[in-house]
Amino acid sequence: MNDIICPKCGEFTQGLVDGLCKDCFFKTSNLIEAPLVLYAKICSACGAQLTKGKWNNDYTIPEIVIQTVEDALLIHEKADNIELCIEPKQMTPHLYRVSIEANATIMEEPVRQMTEAEVRITRIACDMCSRMSGNYFEAILQIRAASRYPTEEEKTRCMRIINSTLEKMQNKGDRTAFISNSAEARDGIDLYMGSANATRIVCKEIVTELGGGFAESSSLFGRKDGKDVYRMTFSLRLPEFMAGDIVELKGKVIEIKRFSKSVTGTDLVKGSKFNSQPDDMKGATLIAKRSTAKKAVVVSIEKNDLMLLDPDTYETVTVKMPLLFSASEGDEVPVIKTSIGLVALPEETSRKNDI
Whether 51 is covered by a domain: the verdict is: yes
In sequence order, the 6+-apart residues with CB closer than 8 A to the CB of 154 are: 145, 210, 238, 242
Residue 40 DSSP SS3 = strand
Residues 254 and 223 both lie in one domain: no
Residues 209 and 271 both lie in one domain: no
At residue 322, the pLDDT reads: 81
Looking at the structure of the chain, the number of domains it has is 3
Higher pLDDT, 23 or 210: 210
Interhelix angle 152-171/196-210, rounded to 10 degrees, is 130
- Of 107, 126, 145, the position where a domain reaches its end is 126
Whether 2 is covered by a domain: the verdict is: no
- Of 223, 238, 253, the position where a domain reaches its end is 238
Whether 78 is covered by a domain: the verdict is: yes
Please give the single-letter amino acid code of residue 345.
L
At residue 217, the pLDDT reads: 92
What strands lie across the sheet with 109-124, from one edge to the other? 54-56, 49-51, 37-43, 109-124, 95-106, 79-92
> Quick check: 293 pLDDT over 80?
yes
Q: Residue 333 phi/psi, 5° resolution?
A: -130, 150
pLDDT tier for residue 354 given thresholds of 50, 70 and 90: very low
Could you report the per-residue pLDDT of 221-247, keeping only the tens digit for each?
766 666 766 789 999 999 989 888 999
What is the percent of the chain with per-residue pLDDT over 90, rounded to a whole number? Answer: 44
- Distance separating alpha carbons of residues 20 and 10, to the nearest angstrom: 10
Whats the size of the chain, residue-wise? 355
Could you report the per-residue pLDDT of 272-292, keeping only the tens digit for each?
889 998 888 888 999 998 888
Residues 193 and 234 both lie in one domain: yes
Could you report the per-residue pLDDT of 138-183, keeping only the tens digit for each?
999 999 998 889 989 899 999 999 999 999 998 888 889 999 999 9
Our CA angle for 241, 349, 336, nearest 5°, is 55
| Strand 109-124 versus strand 95-106 pairing type | antiparallel
- Of 219, 238, 257, the position where a domain reaches its end is 238
Whether the Cβ atoms of residue 246 and residue 321 lie closer than 8 Å to each other: no
- Region 210-222 average pLDDT: 84
Domain that holds residue 166: 135-238
Residues 204 and 152 both lie in one domain: yes
- Region 174-198 average pLDDT: 92
- Distance separating alpha carbons of residues 297 and 301, to the nearest angstrom: 11
Question: What is the DSSP code string of 147-209?
Answer: TBPPPHHHHHHHHHHHHHHHHHHHHTT-TT--EEEEEEETTEEEEEES-HHHHHHHHHHHHHH
State the DSSP H helix or E strand holding residue 205, giving kind and residue range, or none if neither: helix 196-210
pLDDT tier for residue 352 given thresholds of 50, 70 and 90: very low
